[in-house]
Structure 1
Protein backbone atom coordinates (compact mmCIF):
# COMPACT_ATOMS: atom_id res chain seq x y z
CA UNK A 1 0.00 0.00 0.00
CA UNK A 2 1.40 3.42 -0.95
CA UNK A 3 2.06 6.06 1.67
CA UNK A 4 -0.73 8.67 1.51
CA UNK A 5 1.62 11.39 2.77
CA UNK A 6 4.06 10.67 -0.04
CA UNK A 7 1.18 10.92 -2.52
CA UNK A 8 0.27 14.33 -1.09
CA UNK A 9 3.82 15.67 -1.20
CA UNK A 10 3.76 18.90 -3.30
CA UNK A 11 6.50 18.15 -5.79
CA UNK A 12 5.48 20.96 -8.12
CA UNK A 13 5.49 23.50 -5.32
CA UNK A 14 8.87 22.20 -4.12
CA UNK A 15 10.51 22.54 -7.53
CA UNK A 16 9.06 26.02 -8.03
CA UNK A 17 10.18 27.09 -4.54
CA UNK A 18 13.70 25.79 -5.08
CA UNK A 19 13.93 27.67 -8.37
CA UNK A 20 12.66 30.89 -6.78
CA UNK A 21 15.00 30.43 -3.80
CA UNK A 22 17.99 30.00 -6.08
CA UNK A 23 17.03 33.12 -8.01
CA UNK A 24 16.63 35.23 -4.87
CA UNK A 25 19.94 34.05 -3.39
CA UNK A 26 21.69 34.72 -6.71
CA UNK A 27 20.29 38.25 -6.81
CA UNK A 28 21.43 38.82 -3.23
CA UNK A 29 24.92 37.54 -4.03
CA UNK A 30 25.08 39.76 -7.11
CA UNK A 31 24.26 42.81 -4.98
CA UNK A 32 27.04 41.85 -2.54
CA UNK A 33 29.46 41.82 -5.49
CA UNK A 34 28.12 45.20 -6.63
CA UNK A 35 28.62 46.53 -3.10
CA UNK A 36 32.29 45.54 -3.13
CA UNK A 37 32.74 47.08 -6.60
CA UNK A 38 31.05 50.34 -5.58
CA UNK A 39 33.08 50.64 -2.38
CA UNK A 40 36.28 50.21 -4.39
CA UNK A 41 35.08 52.81 -6.91
CA UNK A 42 34.32 55.35 -4.17
CA UNK A 43 37.68 54.73 -2.50
CA UNK A 44 39.50 55.28 -5.79
CA UNK A 45 37.59 58.50 -6.49
CA UNK A 46 38.33 59.87 -3.02
CA UNK A 47 42.00 58.94 -3.25
CA UNK A 48 42.39 60.53 -6.71
CA UNK A 49 40.76 63.77 -5.51
CA UNK A 50 43.72 64.43 -3.25
CA UNK A 51 46.38 63.89 -5.92
CA UNK A 52 47.94 66.75 -7.93
CA UNK A 53 47.17 67.13 -11.66
CA UNK A 54 49.44 65.33 -14.10
CA UNK A 55 50.37 65.85 -17.71
CA UNK A 56 48.55 64.10 -20.54
CA UNK A 57 51.70 62.09 -21.21
CA UNK A 58 51.71 60.80 -17.62
CA UNK A 59 47.98 60.14 -17.76
CA UNK A 60 48.40 58.01 -20.89
CA UNK A 61 50.91 55.77 -19.08
CA UNK A 62 48.49 54.87 -16.29
CA UNK A 63 46.77 51.47 -16.65
CA UNK A 64 43.51 52.93 -15.30
CA UNK A 65 43.53 56.74 -15.12
CA UNK A 66 39.89 57.12 -14.08
CA UNK A 67 39.29 60.01 -11.63
CA UNK A 68 42.78 61.43 -12.18
CA UNK A 69 43.09 65.09 -13.09
CA UNK A 70 45.25 66.23 -15.99
CA UNK A 71 46.43 69.61 -17.28
CA UNK A 72 45.35 70.40 -20.85
CA UNK A 73 47.29 72.98 -22.83
CA UNK A 74 45.32 72.70 -26.08
CA UNK A 75 43.79 75.78 -27.71
CA UNK A 76 40.14 74.70 -27.68
CA UNK A 77 38.96 78.10 -28.90
CA UNK A 78 40.46 77.52 -32.32
CA UNK A 79 39.68 73.88 -33.07
CA UNK A 80 36.50 71.98 -33.99
CA UNK A 81 34.01 70.40 -31.61
CA UNK A 82 30.84 68.33 -31.82
CA UNK A 83 27.69 68.72 -29.76
CA UNK A 84 26.19 65.95 -27.64
CA UNK A 85 22.50 66.24 -26.78
CA UNK A 86 22.19 66.23 -23.01
CA UNK A 87 20.16 67.25 -19.97
CA UNK A 88 21.67 68.89 -16.90
CA UNK A 89 19.66 69.72 -13.78
CA UNK A 90 16.46 69.14 -15.75
CA UNK A 91 17.48 71.61 -18.45
CA UNK A 92 17.96 70.44 -22.07
CA UNK A 93 21.09 71.42 -23.91
CA UNK A 94 24.31 70.10 -25.40
CA UNK A 95 27.77 69.22 -24.22
CA UNK A 96 30.63 70.42 -26.40
CA UNK A 97 33.13 67.67 -27.22
CA UNK A 98 36.56 68.51 -28.59
CA UNK A 99 39.94 66.78 -28.55
CA UNK A 100 43.41 67.28 -27.14
CA UNK A 101 46.45 65.20 -28.15
CA UNK A 102 44.37 62.13 -28.99
CA UNK A 103 41.93 62.42 -26.05
CA UNK A 104 38.28 63.37 -26.33
CA UNK A 105 37.53 66.32 -24.07
CA UNK A 106 34.06 67.21 -22.77
CA UNK A 107 34.26 71.00 -22.46
CA UNK A 108 30.96 71.40 -20.62
CA UNK A 109 27.22 72.05 -20.92
CA UNK A 110 25.46 74.76 -22.90
CA UNK A 111 21.66 75.28 -22.51
CA UNK A 112 19.53 74.62 -25.57
CA UNK A 113 18.20 78.19 -25.41
CA UNK A 114 21.70 79.52 -26.15
CA UNK A 115 22.07 79.24 -29.91
CA UNK A 116 25.07 81.54 -30.34
CA UNK A 117 28.56 80.12 -30.24
CA UNK A 118 31.69 82.14 -29.44
CA UNK A 119 33.88 83.29 -32.30
CA UNK A 120 37.38 81.94 -32.63
CA UNK A 121 40.00 83.84 -30.69
CA UNK A 122 43.38 84.85 -32.13
CA UNK A 123 45.29 83.99 -28.95
CA UNK A 124 45.47 80.74 -27.03
CA UNK A 125 43.93 80.61 -23.57
CA UNK A 126 45.64 79.35 -20.41
CA UNK A 127 45.73 75.65 -19.68
CA UNK A 128 42.71 74.07 -18.01
CA UNK A 129 42.27 70.97 -15.90
CA UNK A 130 40.10 67.95 -16.71
CA UNK A 131 39.16 64.70 -15.00
CA UNK A 132 39.40 61.32 -16.73
CA UNK A 133 36.24 59.24 -16.56
CA UNK A 134 35.44 55.90 -18.15
CA UNK A 135 32.53 55.95 -20.59
CA UNK A 136 30.51 53.05 -21.94
CA UNK A 137 29.93 52.47 -25.63
CA UNK A 138 26.37 53.25 -26.76
CA UNK A 139 23.93 50.43 -27.38
CA UNK A 140 23.02 49.03 -30.75
CA UNK A 141 19.79 51.06 -30.81
CA UNK A 142 21.42 54.42 -30.06
CA UNK A 143 20.31 57.08 -32.57
CA UNK A 144 22.95 58.00 -35.17
CA UNK A 145 24.47 61.49 -35.27
CA UNK A 146 23.14 64.20 -37.53
CA UNK A 147 26.11 66.10 -38.83
CA UNK A 148 27.77 67.83 -35.88
CA UNK A 149 24.99 66.84 -33.42
CA UNK A 150 25.27 63.55 -31.51
CA UNK A 151 22.54 61.85 -29.49
CA UNK A 152 24.73 59.24 -27.79
CA UNK A 153 28.28 59.40 -26.44
CA UNK A 154 29.81 57.42 -29.29
CA UNK A 155 33.52 57.99 -28.77
CA UNK A 156 34.47 56.21 -31.97
CA UNK A 157 32.18 58.29 -34.20
CA UNK A 158 33.13 61.50 -32.39
CA UNK A 159 36.83 60.74 -32.85
CA UNK A 160 36.35 60.19 -36.57
CA UNK A 161 34.35 63.40 -36.94
CA UNK A 162 37.00 65.38 -35.08
CA UNK A 163 39.87 63.70 -36.93
CA UNK A 164 41.38 62.13 -33.81
CA UNK A 165 44.02 59.58 -34.80
CA UNK A 166 44.93 56.39 -32.97
CA UNK A 167 42.86 53.88 -30.99
CA UNK A 168 39.64 55.04 -29.33
CA UNK A 169 40.19 55.42 -25.61
CA UNK A 170 37.56 54.16 -23.15
CA UNK A 171 37.97 57.42 -21.22
CA UNK A 172 36.81 60.98 -21.77
CA UNK A 173 38.42 64.01 -20.15
CA UNK A 174 35.77 66.19 -18.50
CA UNK A 175 36.92 69.79 -18.22
CA UNK A 176 36.77 71.31 -14.74
CA UNK A 177 37.93 74.72 -16.02
CA UNK A 178 36.35 76.77 -18.78
CA UNK A 179 37.93 76.80 -22.24
CA UNK A 180 36.02 80.07 -22.87
CA UNK A 181 36.26 82.08 -19.63
CA UNK A 182 34.47 84.99 -21.28
CA UNK A 183 31.53 82.80 -22.37
CA UNK A 184 29.26 82.44 -19.36
CA UNK A 185 26.85 80.04 -21.09
CA UNK A 186 29.40 77.21 -20.94
CA UNK A 187 29.40 75.24 -17.68
CA UNK A 188 32.32 72.80 -17.38
CA UNK A 189 31.66 69.87 -15.07
CA UNK A 190 32.67 66.27 -14.50
CA UNK A 191 30.12 63.57 -13.62
CA UNK A 192 29.47 63.62 -9.87
CA UNK A 193 31.75 61.36 -7.87
CA UNK A 194 29.22 61.06 -5.04
CA UNK A 195 28.02 57.61 -6.05
CA UNK A 196 24.88 56.24 -4.50
CA UNK A 197 25.62 53.03 -2.61
CA UNK A 198 22.40 51.16 -1.84
CA UNK A 199 23.64 47.69 -2.70
CA UNK A 200 23.73 46.46 0.92
CA UNK A 201 20.05 47.33 1.31
CA UNK A 202 19.23 45.58 -1.95
CA UNK A 203 21.18 42.48 -0.88
CA UNK A 204 19.38 42.34 2.46
CA UNK A 205 16.07 42.69 0.66
CA UNK A 206 16.76 39.73 -1.65
CA UNK A 207 18.09 37.56 1.17
CA UNK A 208 15.10 38.54 3.33
CA UNK A 209 12.73 37.48 0.57
CA UNK A 210 14.61 34.18 0.32
CA UNK A 211 14.12 33.55 4.07
CA UNK A 212 10.46 34.51 3.82
CA UNK A 213 10.05 32.05 0.94
CA UNK A 214 11.61 29.26 3.02
CA UNK A 215 9.30 30.02 5.93
CA UNK A 216 6.25 30.13 3.67
CA UNK A 217 7.22 26.82 2.03
CA UNK A 218 7.74 25.06 5.39
CA UNK A 219 4.40 26.32 6.73
CA UNK A 220 2.58 25.27 3.57
CA UNK A 221 4.29 21.87 3.55
CA UNK A 222 3.29 21.16 7.15
CA UNK A 223 -0.29 22.12 6.43
CA UNK A 224 -0.33 19.97 3.32
CA UNK A 225 1.03 16.86 5.04
CA UNK A 226 -1.09 17.14 8.17
CA UNK A 227 -4.39 17.84 6.40
Structure 2
Protein backbone atom coordinates (compact mmCIF):
# COMPACT_ATOMS: atom_id res chain seq x y z
CA UNK A 1 0.00 0.00 0.00
CA UNK A 2 2.83 2.42 0.86
CA UNK A 3 4.57 1.59 -2.42
CA UNK A 4 1.39 2.23 -4.50
CA UNK A 5 0.80 5.61 -2.92
CA UNK A 6 4.41 6.56 -3.52
CA UNK A 7 4.14 5.63 -7.25
CA UNK A 8 0.91 7.56 -7.71
CA UNK A 9 2.29 10.70 -6.14
CA UNK A 10 5.39 10.54 -8.41
CA UNK A 11 3.38 10.15 -11.65
CA UNK A 12 0.55 12.65 -10.88
CA UNK A 13 2.34 15.69 -12.42
CA UNK A 14 2.59 13.85 -15.75
CA UNK A 15 -1.11 12.93 -16.09
CA UNK A 16 -2.33 16.44 -17.15
CA UNK A 17 0.16 16.56 -20.09
CA UNK A 18 -0.73 13.13 -21.51
CA UNK A 19 -2.21 13.20 -25.10
CA UNK A 20 -4.76 10.76 -26.41
CA UNK A 21 -3.44 7.76 -28.18
CA UNK A 22 -5.58 8.36 -31.32
CA UNK A 23 -4.37 11.93 -31.83
CA UNK A 24 -0.74 10.89 -31.41
CA UNK A 25 -1.20 8.23 -34.05
CA UNK A 26 -2.70 10.68 -36.57
CA UNK A 27 0.10 13.17 -35.96
CA UNK A 28 2.75 10.56 -36.44
CA UNK A 29 1.09 9.33 -39.70
CA UNK A 30 1.01 12.87 -41.11
CA UNK A 31 4.68 13.46 -40.38
CA UNK A 32 5.59 10.19 -41.98
CA UNK A 33 3.63 10.96 -45.12
CA UNK A 34 5.32 14.34 -45.54
CA UNK A 35 8.73 12.76 -45.36
CA UNK A 36 7.96 10.11 -47.99
CA UNK A 37 8.13 10.97 -51.76
CA UNK A 38 4.79 11.24 -53.79
CA UNK A 39 3.45 8.10 -55.46
CA UNK A 40 4.13 7.82 -59.19
CA UNK A 41 1.42 6.52 -61.57
CA UNK A 42 1.91 3.18 -63.21
CA UNK A 43 1.62 4.62 -66.77
CA UNK A 44 2.62 8.04 -68.12
CA UNK A 45 -0.25 8.09 -70.80
CA UNK A 46 -3.36 10.34 -70.18
CA UNK A 47 -6.65 8.51 -69.50
CA UNK A 48 -9.01 8.19 -72.56
CA UNK A 49 -12.19 10.41 -72.28
CA UNK A 50 -15.62 8.80 -72.97
CA UNK A 51 -17.10 9.74 -76.42
CA UNK A 52 -20.18 12.02 -76.20
CA UNK A 53 -23.12 12.09 -78.72
CA UNK A 54 -22.42 15.79 -79.34
CA UNK A 55 -19.03 14.86 -80.82
CA UNK A 56 -20.88 13.52 -83.91
CA UNK A 57 -21.09 16.31 -86.57
CA UNK A 58 -24.55 15.10 -87.68
CA UNK A 59 -26.00 15.06 -84.19
CA UNK A 60 -29.21 17.11 -83.60
CA UNK A 61 -30.62 17.75 -80.20
CA UNK A 62 -34.30 17.95 -79.35
CA UNK A 63 -33.59 21.34 -77.84
CA UNK A 64 -32.44 22.59 -81.24
CA UNK A 65 -35.95 22.08 -82.77
CA UNK A 66 -38.35 25.04 -82.57
CA UNK A 67 -41.38 24.57 -80.30
CA UNK A 68 -44.77 23.72 -81.83
CA UNK A 69 -47.84 25.85 -81.02
CA UNK A 70 -50.96 23.76 -80.57
CA UNK A 71 -54.52 24.26 -79.36
CA UNK A 72 -55.73 22.70 -76.19
CA UNK A 73 -59.12 21.12 -75.87
CA UNK A 74 -61.75 20.90 -78.66
CA UNK A 75 -60.98 23.04 -81.71
CA UNK A 76 -64.24 23.05 -83.74
CA UNK A 77 -67.74 21.77 -83.08
CA UNK A 78 -70.75 20.77 -85.23
CA UNK A 79 -71.38 24.41 -86.07
CA UNK A 80 -68.43 24.31 -88.48
CA UNK A 81 -70.21 21.64 -90.54
CA UNK A 82 -73.32 23.80 -90.79
CA UNK A 83 -71.20 26.78 -91.77
CA UNK A 84 -69.61 24.68 -94.52
CA UNK A 85 -73.02 23.55 -95.85
CA UNK A 86 -74.46 27.07 -96.15
CA UNK A 87 -72.19 28.36 -98.98
CA UNK A 88 -72.60 25.13 -100.95
CA UNK A 89 -76.39 25.29 -100.66
CA UNK A 90 -76.46 29.00 -101.51
CA UNK A 91 -74.33 28.38 -104.61
CA UNK A 92 -76.68 25.69 -105.90
CA UNK A 93 -79.72 27.91 -105.24
CA UNK A 94 -78.06 30.77 -107.12
CA UNK A 95 -77.35 28.47 -110.07
CA UNK A 96 -80.97 27.29 -110.00
CA UNK A 97 -82.13 30.93 -110.09
CA UNK A 98 -80.00 31.49 -113.19
CA UNK A 99 -82.00 28.76 -114.93
CA UNK A 100 -85.24 30.23 -113.61
CA UNK A 101 -84.26 33.66 -114.95
CA UNK A 102 -83.77 32.22 -118.42
CA UNK A 103 -87.11 30.40 -118.21
CA UNK A 104 -89.01 33.49 -117.03
CA UNK A 105 -87.38 35.72 -119.65
CA UNK A 106 -88.43 33.31 -122.43
CA UNK A 107 -91.96 33.10 -120.99
CA UNK A 108 -92.39 36.87 -120.87
CA UNK A 109 -91.12 37.15 -124.44
CA UNK A 110 -93.68 34.56 -125.60
CA UNK A 111 -96.52 36.30 -123.74
CA UNK A 112 -95.60 39.70 -125.14
CA UNK A 113 -95.55 38.19 -128.62
CA UNK A 114 -99.08 36.86 -128.08
CA UNK A 115 -100.37 40.22 -126.86
CA UNK A 116 -99.20 42.17 -129.89
CA UNK A 117 -101.08 39.81 -132.20
CA UNK A 118 -104.65 40.71 -133.20
CA UNK A 119 -107.40 39.01 -131.15
CA UNK A 120 -108.88 35.75 -132.40
CA UNK A 121 -112.45 34.48 -131.98
CA UNK A 122 -112.71 32.05 -129.09
CA UNK A 123 -113.83 28.57 -130.20
CA UNK A 124 -117.12 27.29 -128.72
CA UNK A 125 -115.48 24.21 -127.19
CA UNK A 126 -112.12 24.59 -125.49
CA UNK A 127 -109.73 22.00 -124.13
CA UNK A 128 -108.97 23.52 -120.73
CA UNK A 129 -105.89 21.26 -120.39
CA UNK A 130 -104.25 23.16 -123.27
CA UNK A 131 -105.01 26.65 -121.96
CA UNK A 132 -101.51 27.01 -120.46
CA UNK A 133 -100.09 27.12 -124.00
CA UNK A 134 -102.36 30.08 -124.83
CA UNK A 135 -101.78 32.15 -121.72
CA UNK A 136 -102.05 35.91 -122.51
CA UNK A 137 -103.55 35.17 -125.96
CA UNK A 138 -105.99 37.90 -126.96
CA UNK A 139 -109.49 36.70 -127.95
CA UNK A 140 -112.96 38.12 -128.47
CA UNK A 141 -116.35 36.58 -127.68
CA UNK A 142 -120.00 37.37 -128.41
CA UNK A 143 -122.66 36.47 -125.89
CA UNK A 144 -124.94 37.56 -123.08
CA UNK A 145 -123.86 38.18 -119.49
CA UNK A 146 -125.64 36.11 -116.85
CA UNK A 147 -125.83 38.85 -114.20
CA UNK A 148 -127.97 36.59 -112.01
CA UNK A 149 -124.93 34.35 -111.60
CA UNK A 150 -122.46 37.16 -110.91
CA UNK A 151 -119.71 36.41 -108.36
CA UNK A 152 -117.59 38.93 -106.45
CA UNK A 153 -114.05 37.76 -105.66
CA UNK A 154 -112.19 39.61 -102.99
CA UNK A 155 -111.45 41.76 -101.23
CA UNK A 156 -109.02 43.17 -103.80
CA UNK A 157 -107.15 46.47 -103.45
CA UNK A 158 -106.74 49.08 -106.18
CA UNK A 159 -105.02 52.41 -105.55
CA UNK A 160 -105.44 51.93 -101.81
CA UNK A 161 -109.20 51.32 -102.06
CA UNK A 162 -110.88 48.07 -101.18
CA UNK A 163 -113.14 46.38 -103.68
CA UNK A 164 -113.96 43.19 -105.61
CA UNK A 165 -113.32 41.53 -108.94
CA UNK A 166 -116.59 40.99 -110.86
CA UNK A 167 -116.81 37.52 -112.45
CA UNK A 168 -119.81 36.94 -114.71
CA UNK A 169 -120.60 33.92 -116.93
CA UNK A 170 -120.91 34.81 -120.63
CA UNK A 171 -123.43 32.62 -122.43
CA UNK A 172 -122.94 32.06 -126.13
CA UNK A 173 -125.97 32.45 -128.37
CA UNK A 174 -127.44 29.13 -129.39
CA UNK A 175 -125.00 27.09 -127.31
CA UNK A 176 -125.43 27.34 -123.51
CA UNK A 177 -122.73 24.68 -123.05
CA UNK A 178 -120.15 27.08 -124.52
CA UNK A 179 -120.44 29.49 -121.58
CA UNK A 180 -117.15 30.83 -120.22
CA UNK A 181 -116.21 32.83 -117.11
CA UNK A 182 -115.30 36.48 -117.71
CA UNK A 183 -113.40 38.56 -115.18
CA UNK A 184 -114.92 41.94 -116.05
CA UNK A 185 -112.68 43.96 -113.73
CA UNK A 186 -112.60 45.79 -110.41
CA UNK A 187 -115.35 47.69 -108.61
CA UNK A 188 -115.22 49.44 -105.23
CA UNK A 189 -116.71 47.84 -102.16
CA UNK A 190 -119.46 50.44 -101.90
CA UNK A 191 -120.68 49.42 -105.38
CA UNK A 192 -121.00 45.73 -104.56
CA UNK A 193 -124.81 45.83 -104.70
CA UNK A 194 -126.09 45.56 -108.28
CA UNK A 195 -128.89 48.03 -107.54
CA UNK A 196 -126.33 50.80 -107.08
CA UNK A 197 -124.71 50.24 -110.48
CA UNK A 198 -127.37 49.65 -113.15
CA UNK A 199 -125.07 50.95 -115.89
CA UNK A 200 -122.69 48.06 -115.19
CA UNK A 201 -125.32 45.48 -116.20
CA UNK A 202 -125.53 45.52 -120.00
CA UNK A 203 -128.44 43.72 -121.63
CA UNK A 204 -128.47 41.74 -124.83
CA UNK A 205 -125.55 40.51 -126.88
CA UNK A 206 -122.19 42.12 -126.14
CA UNK A 207 -118.73 41.80 -127.55
CA UNK A 208 -116.05 41.03 -124.95
CA UNK A 209 -112.39 41.39 -125.78
CA UNK A 210 -109.88 39.97 -123.34
CA UNK A 211 -107.06 37.53 -122.69
CA UNK A 212 -107.02 33.87 -121.85
CA UNK A 213 -105.42 33.67 -118.42
CA UNK A 214 -104.67 31.36 -115.57
CA UNK A 215 -106.04 33.13 -112.48
CA UNK A 216 -103.98 33.73 -109.36
CA UNK A 217 -103.58 30.88 -106.91
CA UNK A 218 -104.65 30.59 -103.32
CA UNK A 219 -101.93 31.14 -100.73
CA UNK A 220 -101.70 29.84 -97.18
CA UNK A 221 -103.35 32.97 -95.74
CA UNK A 222 -106.40 32.93 -98.04
CA UNK A 223 -109.50 31.30 -96.55
CA UNK A 224 -111.57 28.77 -98.42
CA UNK A 225 -114.41 29.90 -100.65
CA UNK A 226 -117.96 29.70 -99.31
CA UNK A 227 -120.18 29.51 -102.38
CA UNK A 228 -123.28 28.86 -100.26
CA UNK A 229 -122.85 32.38 -98.85
CA UNK A 230 -121.66 33.87 -102.18
CA UNK A 231 -118.23 34.53 -100.65
CA UNK A 232 -115.29 33.97 -102.99
CA UNK A 233 -111.82 34.84 -101.71
CA UNK A 234 -109.88 33.53 -104.72
CA UNK A 235 -110.89 32.41 -108.23
CA UNK A 236 -111.35 28.65 -108.21
CA UNK A 237 -112.19 28.20 -111.88
CA UNK A 238 -113.38 24.61 -111.64
CA UNK A 239 -115.57 25.37 -108.64
CA UNK A 240 -117.10 28.46 -110.28
CA UNK A 241 -117.64 26.60 -113.55
CA UNK A 242 -119.47 23.81 -111.73
CA UNK A 243 -121.72 26.34 -109.95
CA UNK A 244 -122.69 28.18 -113.14
CA UNK A 245 -122.65 25.35 -115.66
CA UNK A 246 -119.76 26.94 -117.56
CA UNK A 247 -116.57 25.69 -119.09
CA UNK A 248 -113.51 26.02 -116.81
CA UNK A 249 -112.18 28.84 -118.99
CA UNK A 250 -111.07 32.18 -117.53
CA UNK A 251 -111.09 35.29 -119.73
CA UNK A 252 -109.91 38.64 -118.37
CA UNK A 253 -111.62 41.57 -120.07
CA UNK A 254 -109.24 44.32 -121.21
CA UNK A 255 -109.69 48.03 -121.80
CA UNK A 256 -107.62 51.02 -122.86
CA UNK A 257 -105.98 52.78 -119.91
CA UNK A 258 -107.85 56.10 -120.32
CA UNK A 259 -107.60 57.99 -117.01
CA UNK A 260 -110.85 59.95 -117.36
CA UNK A 261 -112.74 56.88 -118.45
CA UNK A 262 -111.41 55.01 -115.41
CA UNK A 263 -112.72 57.77 -113.13
CA UNK A 264 -116.13 57.70 -114.82
CA UNK A 265 -116.38 53.91 -114.59
CA UNK A 266 -115.38 53.93 -110.92
CA UNK A 267 -118.09 56.51 -110.12
CA UNK A 268 -120.79 54.54 -111.97
CA UNK A 269 -119.70 51.13 -110.64
CA UNK A 270 -118.71 49.86 -114.08
CA UNK A 271 -116.00 47.21 -113.73
CA UNK A 272 -112.53 48.49 -114.62
CA UNK A 273 -110.79 45.99 -116.84
CA UNK A 274 -107.06 45.48 -116.99
CA UNK A 275 -104.78 46.79 -119.74
CA UNK A 276 -103.50 44.35 -122.34
CA UNK A 277 -100.00 43.92 -120.99
CA UNK A 278 -97.83 41.24 -119.40
CA UNK A 279 -97.64 41.66 -115.65
CA UNK A 280 -95.50 38.66 -114.77
CA UNK A 281 -92.98 39.41 -112.06
CA UNK A 282 -89.36 38.67 -112.79
CA UNK A 283 -87.26 38.99 -109.62
CA UNK A 284 -84.85 36.17 -110.38
CA UNK A 285 -81.93 38.54 -110.99
CA UNK A 286 -82.29 39.80 -107.41
CA UNK A 287 -82.45 36.22 -106.16
CA UNK A 288 -79.26 35.37 -108.07
CA UNK A 289 -77.43 38.29 -106.47
CA UNK A 290 -78.75 37.34 -103.02
CA UNK A 291 -77.80 33.65 -103.16
CA UNK A 292 -74.39 34.15 -104.75
CA UNK A 293 -73.64 36.98 -102.31
CA UNK A 294 -74.58 34.71 -99.41
CA UNK A 295 -72.33 31.97 -100.79
CA UNK A 296 -69.34 34.33 -101.00
CA UNK A 297 -69.95 35.84 -97.55
CA UNK A 298 -70.32 32.48 -95.80
CA UNK A 299 -67.25 31.12 -97.62
CA UNK A 300 -65.19 33.99 -96.23
CA UNK A 301 -66.62 33.37 -92.76
CA UNK A 302 -65.76 29.67 -93.02
CA UNK A 303 -62.16 30.47 -94.01
CA UNK A 304 -61.78 32.95 -91.15
CA UNK A 305 -63.10 30.45 -88.61
CA UNK A 306 -60.80 27.67 -89.81
CA UNK A 307 -57.71 29.89 -90.01
CA UNK A 308 -58.41 31.87 -86.85
CA UNK A 309 -55.30 31.85 -84.56
CA UNK A 310 -55.78 30.46 -81.04
CA UNK A 311 -56.08 32.81 -78.10
CA UNK A 312 -53.68 32.90 -75.15
CA UNK A 313 -56.08 30.75 -73.16
CA UNK A 314 -56.54 28.05 -75.77
CA UNK A 315 -52.94 27.62 -76.89
CA UNK A 316 -49.86 25.98 -75.37
CA UNK A 317 -46.35 25.06 -76.49
CA UNK A 318 -45.23 21.48 -76.80
CA UNK A 319 -41.88 20.04 -77.75
CA UNK A 320 -41.42 19.20 -81.39
CA UNK A 321 -40.09 15.64 -81.53
CA UNK A 322 -40.12 15.26 -85.32
CA UNK A 323 -36.85 15.86 -87.15
User: Same fold by TM (over 0.5)?
Assistant: yes
Query: Which moves more between the two structures, 215-224 or 77-86?
Result: 77-86
Q: Which residue number in structure 2 is paired with residue 160 of structure 1?
A: 242
Structure 2 unpaired stretches of 5+: 1-68, 171-177, 257-263, 316-323
Q: Does 1:30 align with 2:107?
A: no
Among 215, 223, 226, the residue aligned to 1:135 = 215
**How far apart, CA to CA, are the structure 1 residues paired with 2:301 and 2:162?**
49
Aligned counterpart, 1:174: 252
Q: 1:213 to 1:58 in 2, by over 3 A?
A: farther
Aligned residue among 70, 77, 94 for 2:139: 70
C-alpha distance after superposition, 1:127-181 (max 9, x if no partner): 120111112543576232253331121212211221225xx35xx2101159xxx
CA deviation profile, 1:18-44 (whole Å, cap 9, x unmatched): 221233223313322331232122102
The superposition leaves residues 43-74 of structure 1 with CA deviations (integer Å, 9 ceiling, x where unpaired) of 02211121111111199366611010111101
Q: Residues of 2 paired with 1:122 and 1:13: CA distance? A: 70
Partner of 1:144: 225
Q: Of the candidates 165, 172, 186, which is equivalent to residue 109 of structure 1?
A: 186
Counterpart of 2:78 in 1: which secondary structure? Answer: helix
* Distance in 1 between residues matched to 2:244 and 2:94, nearest whole Å: 44
Which residue of 1 is the match for residue 162 of structure 2? 92
Q: How many matched pairs? A: 217
- Cα distance in 2 for residues equivalent to 1:6 and 1:193: 63
1:93-116 deviations in Å (ceiling 9; x for gaps): 111112232432101111111232
**Residue 207 of structure 1 corresponds to which residue in structure 2?**
292
Shift of 1:89: 2.2
Question: CA RMSD of the aligned region, Å?
Answer: 3.3
Q: 2:81 aligns with which of 12, 15, 33?
A: 15
Does 1:123 find its partner at 2:204?
yes
- The answer to whether the 8 A contact 2:84-2:299 is kept is no
Which residue of structure 2 lines up, in the alignment, with residue 81 of structure 1?
Answer: 150
How far residue 4 of structure 1 moved from its aligned partner, in angstroms, is 4.9
Whole-angstrom distance in 1 between the partners of 2:158 and 2:117:
28
**RCO higher in structure (CA 8 A, sep ≥6):** 1
Mapped partners of 1:164, 1:225: distance in 2? 74
Q: Which residue of 2 aligns with 1:50?
A: 116
Contact 2:181 2:241 in 1 (8 A): yes
SS in 2 for 1:52: coil
Query: Scaled by the length of structure 2, what TM-score is found?
Result: 0.57
Structure with larger Rg = 2
- Identify the residue that residue 58 of structure 2 maps to in structure 1: none
2:312 aligned with 1:223, yes or no?
no
Supply the distance in 2 between the matched residues of 1:191 and 1:147 (Cα, whole angstroms).
33
Distance 1:55 1:221, change over 3 A: same
SS of residue paired to 2:301: helix
Structure 1 unaligned regions, length at least 5? none
TM-score (norm 1): 0.79
